[in-house]
Each structure stands twice: as C-alpha cells, then as structure tokens.
Structure 1
Amino acid sequence: MELICPIDQHCSNQIAALLRPPSLPLVQEYFEQLISKRRCQGIKVKQNGEFGKGVFADADFEEEELIFKDQMLVGAQHPSNKIDCLVCSYCFKFIGSVEQQIGRRLYLKTLGIGISSHNGCESNSSDEDEEDHFVQNNHISENGASSSSGSTIPLPTTTVQSLMNGEFALPYSNKFPLPSIISCPGGCEEAFYCSKSCAEADWESSHCLLCTGEKSECCSRKALLKFIQHANETNDIFLLAAKAISFTILRYRKLKASHLSEQEKTASSILGTDLSLLLEAWKPISIGHKRRWWDCVSLPDDIDASDEATFRREIRELAFTSLQLLKEAIFDMECEPLFSLEIYGHIIGMFELNNLDLVVASPVEDYFLYIDDLPYPEKKEAEKITQLYLDALGEDYSICCQGTAFFPLQSCMNHSCCPNAKAFKREEDRDGQATIITLRPICKGNEVTISYIDEDLSFEERQALLADYGFRCRCPKCLDEET
C-alpha cells in the first residue's frame, strides 16, 4: 500500500509553484547577483541548450589557475567524521589546537570509539554513540609522515588529557595556529565554531531550528533528537534536507517581517501564508536541478534489477519516516508546503544529483609532515616527543574533515570526460568552500567543465555511471570512443 502524505494533497498548488522551474531571466539575475556578491570575476552562468545551465569563462585562464571559490548554500560534516575532526560547523575550518585535535582523537580511542580504516576520503555507515553523539569516518593519507603500522601504542590517560586541556604543548605546534573554539549559542554540544560571526551566521541561517540545546527554537527537542538519530542510522543526507528547509523557513520569516514593517502591519498582510514571499525564500533552493530522490538514486550493486521497484518504494518510505520526524520537530504552518513528501523528495534528489564532497585537509597531517621535514638535529629532538603521539594515532593520523554540501555555482557546471577544470583544494584552501582550478588553459567564452566520475574508466563504465545523472555523455572523448 503506497504511503500518502496529506500535505501533498491539500497543498498541491503551492507545491507545484515551488517545483516549477524558475524563468530564465530570474535565473540569470540570481547568478549575476551571486557572482557579483562573491566577487567571482571571470565567469558567467548561462543557459546551455539541452544541458541546462553551464559555467562559462568570461576571461582567459592559464593552466592550474583558480577559476572561482564557491561558498556552500548548505553543507554538513558527516556525523561519523565528527569523532576524528573538530571543525567549525559553519565554515568547516579546523579549530582549537593541534594538541586538542590529537588529544581528542586519542581520548575517544580510550573510550573504545575506534577508527575503522578505509582508503581515501569516503563515508561509511555509522551508529550513534551515547558518549559523544558522534560517530566516526576516516581518511588515510597515502603519503606523509611515517607512523607505526598495525596496532597502535596507547598513551596514559593523564598524558592524553594534558593535550586536550592545553596543559602540554607539542614542539613546533605554534607553527600551526588554529582558531579558538566557540560554543553553540543555543547550548547544544554538537556544534562548535571558529568565531562568533560564524556561530551567529549558522544560527540565523538554519541552526536555531536544528539546535538540540536549551535555547533551540524548534517545536520539540525530543522529536529533533529522534530525527537526528534516524538520519545518523540511515542516511545523513536527511540532515542536509533539514538544513535546506530550516534555511527556507527562516528566510521566509525575515522576508515577512520586512514586508509587514513596510505595510505597517495591515490585517490583509498578516493572515496566512504569503506564497510570493515563500517563493522568494525558496529561490536559492529552486535554482538547483531536482528530481525525486527515490527516482534518481543509483541502484546499489547488491540490488538485482528485478528488485528495483521494491528498492525505490523502500527509499520513498524511508524519506517519509524522516519527514514525519522532522515535521514534528520544526513544523511551521505558514511554510506547510515545505513539509510535503514531494518537496522533501526533490530536495534530497537535488543533493543526490548536485552535491560535492566537502573535504578540508587536517592540520595534524601538516604538523607531522613538518616534523618529518626538519633538519636532522631538530627532527631527532622533536621526535623524542612527537613519535609517541604518532605511534598512538597510527596510520590514521591524517584523517581530513569530510562531509557533503550543495554549492550554487559548482552545481551549474556540466560534465565532460575530458574536463578542463577540477574541484581541487590548494595548500591555502582551509575551509569548506569549493575550489575550482583549471586543468589546462581556458579561453574566454569557452565552457568550464568538470568530471562527475573517474574519467579514466572505460567508455561503457562511464556511460553507465553517468546514466544515474540522467544523461548520455557526448563529450569529444566519448564521441571518439563510441565510433
């Protein structure tokens, strides 16, 4: 029996308006304002025929030149990764100190919250731990400082605590200063920040509705905790969807407050939902390409094609369960259409089709590489202390911050199996912004493309993977290999 969401039925007109693709002039105006605000000189977003939007060079670029940096609209660190990396919940810079980063990791190890090893930065399923509400995820550096392999060597608890408490300074750690830790203004113990401005920005954009602390503005903290637990146990993409809905609700409230002020709070402007204001609040989300999640999510390798219908029905039911928990936690009657299953499915589908991995390199890795590169006398003296901590961390010392995010400009970039650009973090890129770098010179007027997949795969493998994005690639490489 198919699940029916009542909001989908009685808000059908508003939902249709929200999901209607914005007009071309509106899209153009939005991106022109965004590019100007972010000072992304040298690019334009234009309609690209059958492929929709595209990013085009508005200046000549040399090889390995920065094209633009893109601030995320919404993003989240994987809940599992929070065990390994303490970062700002808004900009995702590492915070505290090298000592606190190392000490915290080692302390959680002593609690039995281990680090399971994977190659590369990739997420894994996780379970919530009552000690910290965080679950781990990891990254192993393929190059870098030497560390002991196999089992790690534990350190005394007092030694680990002295690192966490700032009572002991590692040699040369002052070469790697990090912002101080700022607590969540709502009093939760899961969000931390690098500055007061980041804390305030996150609170105002979405966190005030998703905070589990005493000052949270959600309808039910108990329901919110259930929603978060469900997302952690099933798919953390639900956390991103919750941020998108919270972001839209708060934008709507600000727009309405401004409107009421201008209209001197006339009775006609106070009552009910103002759809025009809700559409304006929704605009940043409306720009992203969308399909319903259960329609566009890739069929897992372990699911037979004959079971696809059952799989997609189960995914829809999973989204429905998540939505009901979120509705109980943050429901706003004036923004009721946002809590329809149709809208929720399209938001999640937008992230499925457009998200970019959020990766920020660890200063802990940089620190141990610095020690390893010291001249021999200094290195030998420093390693009398640092080697103990490196051995205790083991091969997983270099875990980076990992998550997923939606970037407005990056999401407009089209795919090519012979791309002329890539998402690549340089040494100086130490926050969660997307950084797009040229792979070869790009002339003014040419489209800037990236690869959504591993372009070194065979033609058949590439086309199979790209089918999940809803298109068949016709780039020069594919046309050449197809004939």
Structure 2
Amino acid sequence: MLSSEASSTAASQIEILLKPSDVNTEAKYYEKLIRRGIEECGHETFSNVCVQRHHHTPAAVASGVISPPPPPAADVANNNNSSNHSNMSGGKNRGKGLYATRDFIVGDRVLIEPPLVAMQHERNRNDAIVCSFCFRYVGSIEKQIGQRLFHQLSSAQEKLQQQKEQQMEATTAGDAAAEESARRSGDLDVLNSMASVGEPKLPLADQCFPLPTERACVGGCYREIFCSNECAQNAWNSHERAMCIGNKSGDQDEQAKNRASMMHQFIEHAKDTNDIFILAAKVVAMVTENASLALSDASNNITFLGEALEVAWEPFSRVQKAIWWDIVAIPSDVEEKDEESFRQQLIELASGSLELLCKAWPDRAQAFPGLFSLPVWGAIVGMFELNNLELVVESPVENYFLAVDGLADENQKMAILPQTQPFLDALDVKYDIPCLGTALFALQSNCNHDCDPNCHPFKDETDINGSCVLVARKPIRKGEELTISYLEDDQLDWSRRQDALSDYGFVCRCARCESEVSQTRGRQKMKM
C-alpha cells in the first residue's frame, strides 16, 4: 500500500505520462530529432522526411523544413488529432503524418531508421544469433546452422524420450521426421560443437559471409550478446544495466542477487505469456535511466523528479497509446459473451508481469511509482499493439546456401555440395528463417495507412541490421504524405480490409476504398 505522499507522487507522474502529446512543441521535437540523426548519427535519409500535422500551423510552415502539401483530391489518410495512425473516418482533424521533403522515383530508399526500442522474439532466438542492440548477425555461418539444428534435434529427442517414458507410441510422424532430418547432419556432439565454437568449418563461409565476433554483455549475462563493444556499451547505458541477469551487473550482495533472480522470473513469465512485456520493460528501463541522467546533468537546470521524468518520456509521449487490454483484438475462438472474461485475463497477465518487474527494480519503482502503475504499464504495452513494425533481418544462412547453389564453377560446386547439402536437407524449411522481432520507430510510426500506399517496408541482403527501410512504391512529389499499408494482405476486398483495420479504430476512406465503394454503389443502382 502506497503512503499518501507516494500516492500523490504516483498520481502526478501518471498525469504526466498519460497526457496527450503537446502539439505546440511537436514540430521542434521532430526537427531536433531529424537534425540530431543527421549530424550526430549519420542517418542521411532523415533529411528526406518531415513530421507535420495535416493542417499545418503557420509556425510549422515557417520552419522551412517543408512547404505545405497540396490539398488531396480525395479525403486520404485522415486521422484524429491525438493519433499517429490513420483515422480515415473523415472530418477536419487529420492528425500528423510523415511527409517527403524531396521527389522520389519508384525503388528509391525514402527512409532508413534505427529503432527507438526493439527486441528479437523469444521463439526466434534459437534460429538467429544476433546482436541484442543492432540485431546484426554475429558469430559464423557454422554457429548459426549448428544452433538451429542442435535445438531442433534436442527438442525432437526430448519429445521422443517423454513419449517412451509415458509408454506411448514410440514416435509421432512429425517428431520422427524432425529427428531424422536433424540426424542427417550429424549427432548432437557435432552440432553442439558447431553451435558453440563454429567447428567444423564449411567451405566459403568465412570468405563470402564473414560475421562479427560475438561480444559478451557488460553485465556477464548469458541472454544477450553483441556485435561490438560499442553496441554492448550502448545497450548497457540504455536499458541492459537494469535488464541484465548476469553476475557482473552490480555488487553481488543479497539485494543484487535478488534483483537478478526476480528479473529472471520476470523474463520467464513473459516468455510463457507474452514476450512484448520484455519490450515494455526496456521502455521503463530507458525512461528511468534517462530521467536519472537528466537529474544529474547540471546543464539541464532540472531539479524536480517529475520534470526529469517528462524529459525522459518525451520520445514515447509522441507515440499513440491505448490501454492494451481495451484495444487488443478478440481472437476468433473467443465468443462474444466471453469478451469481458478474456479482457480480464489480459489485465491479470499484465498485473502479474508488472508485479514481478516492481520486485526486480524496487528502487526504480519507489522513485517512479507512476511509471510502474498498471494504467501506464497497460498504455506502454498498448503502444506496441498500435505502432510496432515487424523487425526483420535477412539470414546469411539462406544467402550462403543460395551462393553455393549459384556457383558458376560447376566443378567447385560439385566438390562443395557433399559438405553443405546434408545441412541444407536437415534445416529443411528452416534454412531461410530470418531474425524476427518487433520494434518501434520514432519517425516511421508517424506513417498513416493507405490501401494503395506510396511506400512499403522493404529490405534486401545489404540491410544487415534492425533498421526500418521504407522504399517508394510509386513516384512521390516533394510535400506529399508518405503512407504505408497496415495490412499483411493488400489483395483483400474492401469489406475484409475494413474488418482488419477495425483493430486500429478507424474506417479507411483512402482513394482506393472510395473508388471501390463507388463501384459497388454503381452496380447496386444498375440492379435496381
């Protein structure tokens, strides 16, 4: 139970964290973000875009970043005033969007942006060994293959052993096939050797597909590895100091050991329920780290904790939020009468996760009770539900096998295939699994939806990290809004698209939708 003083602090912090984004300071924030990205981080494509309100204020136009876009011929990509995403229900309040500051032709790379916060999915960790900060593949081709097959064979053998112990049938067809497929590449000892030290070596792997050497987490935990000391330190300063479960993350007194133990429990709970809780914890860690940093920096002239919290929260304050359990789509197997029970289960999951996080970080929870409140925790998780973009990094394993298959020298190819083909056969459909995760991008998250967008996320083999890459699908004029599709399948008819988009809380009235509606009405009139 919080004391009256703590309750008052929590209430004031919750007010700071859940208040709508300040439109008056929005333009300056994004201009500073873009300028810093170009000057300090070398993100050249940041100069290609600008975030603006659809109805520009005089101050925004006067900034010189972009000229006002011409009014659209149709009511395209409307959204409400508090939303980053589209609300295409029409009306005058159209929110903000991402705009082009120059012309583009089809295939141009409009924006390359590193994530504000990101994670690799837990279920993908056995399939891709990547840097936990930039998501670049690390180690070697051999280690990547070895880890996949080692876990594949281990899992198959474990299932078979359980079945035998339970006096069930010796195998199921799927488990037997998985074991046999993995066994073609060798036994567990061989695969474990490949997974741990990258031996035996495969021909051309190091020459054609060299990967960075793995770097350990600063705190010594087994969960996270990095491609460089720089990434390891950046992660530590950003969030890993709090998230680390290693034995170097602090003095190993009872309090430190308890923190590591509780953090481990939090992570295991997230793995068993919803791994997005881990990403939400990264946000909390980042905000508390940056708030403490803001307080300690005398040049900021910040003396109050609430003021420091507001500064640290600003990147996330600009992103649309909604309470997770209120907006999550109801699964098809949940009946309408059970909706309330389903949402209550989500609240309980979130509450259990937050309780573990508070136990892992008691000092942070005491200093920032509002940030560790259930409404804010639900809003952070809901923020990812509404704004996340799938993080994808193409696998060098796939590219390695394609390169071997495409060798021009037939004799060389025939000499290599006996060494590589058993591994390819064993991997089967898993040979091309990329690094998969979820990420939030400060600029890209301002892209509104269109069923016939002018941009789409698209990466090729040259994109070796977790950055988002937006590519032009059609010619784009300077001042035109940049749009993407929120739908995985853009071939759906109008009604199915509307059903899919209802999870985002809007009815789409883009040019494509308006055209299809008009055609439908025309056909109906002809029948009459």
Q: CA deviation at 1:323?
A: 0.7
Residue 366 of structure 1 is matched in structure 2 by 399
Q: CA deviation at 1:162?
A: 4.6
Q: Unpaired segments of 5 or more residues in structure 1? A: 117-147
Matched, 1:310 2:341: yes
Residue 208 of structure 1 is matched in structure 2 by 241
The aligned amino acid for 1:231 is: A
The aligned amino acid for 1:478 is: C
CA distance in 1 between partners of 2:50 and 2:158 (Å): 43
Matched, 1:401 2:435: yes
The aligned amino acid for 2:263 is: L
Q: CA deviation at 1:395?
A: 2.4
Change in Cα spacing, 1:114 to 1:46, as seen in structure 2 (3 Å) is farther
CA distance in 1 between partners of 2:185 and 2:26 (Å): 56
Please give the per-residue CA displacement for 1:354-410, whole angstroms capped at 9, x wherever unaligned.
000011111000000000001221111110211122122222111111111111111
Please give the per-residue CA displacement for 1:55-107, whole angstroms capped at 9, x wherever unaligned.
00110001010001111111110111111110000000000010111122222
The aligned amino acid for 1:221 is: A
Please give the per-residue CA displacement for 1:193-249, whole angstroms capped at 9, x wherever unaligned.
000000000010001101000123576112111111110000011011100000000
* Contact 1:8 1:15 (C-alpha < 8 Å) held by counterparts: no
Please give the per-residue CA displacement for 1:142-174, whole angstroms capped at 9, x wherever unaligned.
xxxxxx999442413443345342443211112
* Contact 2:219 2:241 (C-alpha < 8 Å) held by counterparts: yes
CA distance in 2 between partners of 1:8 and 1:466 (Å): 38
Normalising by structure 1, we get a TM-score of 0.87
CA distance in 2 between partners of 1:235 and 1:26 (Å): 35
Residue 522 of structure 2 is matched in structure 1 by none
Residue 293 of structure 1 is matched in structure 2 by 324
After TM superposition, list the pairs within 5 Å mapping 1:352-431 onto structure 2.
Answer: 352-375=385-408, 376-431=410-465
User: 26-35 vs 349-358, which deviates more?
Assistant: 26-35
Matched, 1:242 2:276: no
After TM superposition, list the pairs within 5 Å mapping 1:429-440 onto structure 2.
Answer: 429-440=463-474
* Contact 2:149 2:426 (C-alpha < 8 Å) held by counterparts: yes
- Equivalenced residues, count: 442
Q: Which residue, out of 351, 375, 384, partners 1:320?
A: 351
Q: CA deviation at 1:349?
A: 0.6
Residue 140 of structure 1 is matched in structure 2 by none
Change in Cα spacing, 1:5 to 1:387, as seen in structure 2 (3 Å) is farther
The aligned amino acid for 2:19 is: R
After TM superposition, list the pairs within 5 Å mapping 1:70-85 onto structure 2.
Answer: 70-85=113-128
* Contact 1:181 1:195 (C-alpha < 8 Å) held by counterparts: yes
* Contact 1:51 1:414 (C-alpha < 8 Å) held by counterparts: no
SS in 2 for 1:207: helix
SS in 2 for 1:339: coil
Q: Rg bigger for which structure?
A: 2
The aligned amino acid for 1:47 is: R
* Contact 1:230 1:322 (C-alpha < 8 Å) held by counterparts: yes
Quick one: percent identity of the two aligned structures?
39
Q: Which residue, out of 130, 139, 151, partners 1:108?
A: 151
Q: Which residue, out of 484, 487, 506, partners 1:471?
A: 506
SS in 1 for 2:490: coil
The aligned amino acid for 1:112 is: S
Change in Cα spacing, 1:160 to 1:149, as seen in structure 2 (3 Å) is closer
Change in Cα spacing, 1:213 to 1:417, as seen in structure 2 (3 Å) is same
CA distance in 2 between partners of 1:196 and 1:368 (Å): 30
* Contact 1:359 1:432 (C-alpha < 8 Å) held by counterparts: yes
SS in 2 for 1:220: helix
Residue 283 of structure 1 is matched in structure 2 by 314
The aligned amino acid for 1:403 is: G
Residue 200 of structure 2 is matched in structure 1 by 168
Q: CA deviation at 1:33?
A: 1.4
The aligned amino acid for 2:344 is: R
CA distance in 2 between partners of 1:416 and 1:289 (Å): 18
Matched, 1:62 2:97: no
Residue 229 of structure 1 is matched in structure 2 by 268
User: 388-397 vs 356-365, which deviates more?
Assistant: 388-397
Matched, 1:461 2:496: yes
* Contact 2:181 2:427 (C-alpha < 8 Å) held by counterparts: no
CA distance in 2 between partners of 1:114 and 1:419 (Å): 47
After TM superposition, list the pairs within 5 Å mapping 1:86-97 onto structure 2.
Answer: 86-97=129-140
Matched, 1:48 2:54: yes
SS in 2 for 1:256: helix
Residue 125 of structure 1 is matched in structure 2 by none
* Contact 1:56 1:447 (C-alpha < 8 Å) held by counterparts: yes
* Contact 2:116 2:441 (C-alpha < 8 Å) held by counterparts: yes
Q: CA deviation at 1:31?
A: 1.1
Please give the per-residue CA displacement for 1:5-46, whole angstroms capped at 9, x wherever unaligned.
998786223211221122223221111111222231221100
Q: Which has the higher helix share?
A: 2
SS in 2 for 1:382: helix
* Contact 1:210 1:216 (C-alpha < 8 Å) held by counterparts: no
CA distance in 1 between partners of 2:189 and 2:265 (Å): 35
CA distance in 1 between partners of 2:502 and 2:333 (Å): 18
Normalising by structure 2, we get a TM-score of 0.79
SS in 2 for 1:445: coil
CA distance in 2 between partners of 1:394 and 1:100 (Å): 17
SS in 2 for 1:419: coil
After TM superposition, list the pairs within 5 Å mapping 1:187-198 onto structure 2.
Answer: 187-198=220-231
* Contact 1:85 1:401 (C-alpha < 8 Å) held by counterparts: yes
* Contact 2:263 2:357 (C-alpha < 8 Å) held by counterparts: yes
Q: Unpaired segments of 5 or more residues in structure 2? A: 39-45, 56-92, 160-177, 251-255, 519-528
CA distance in 1 between partners of 2:3 and 2:406 (Å): 60
* Contact 2:325 2:378 (C-alpha < 8 Å) held by counterparts: yes
* Contact 2:322 2:383 (C-alpha < 8 Å) held by counterparts: yes
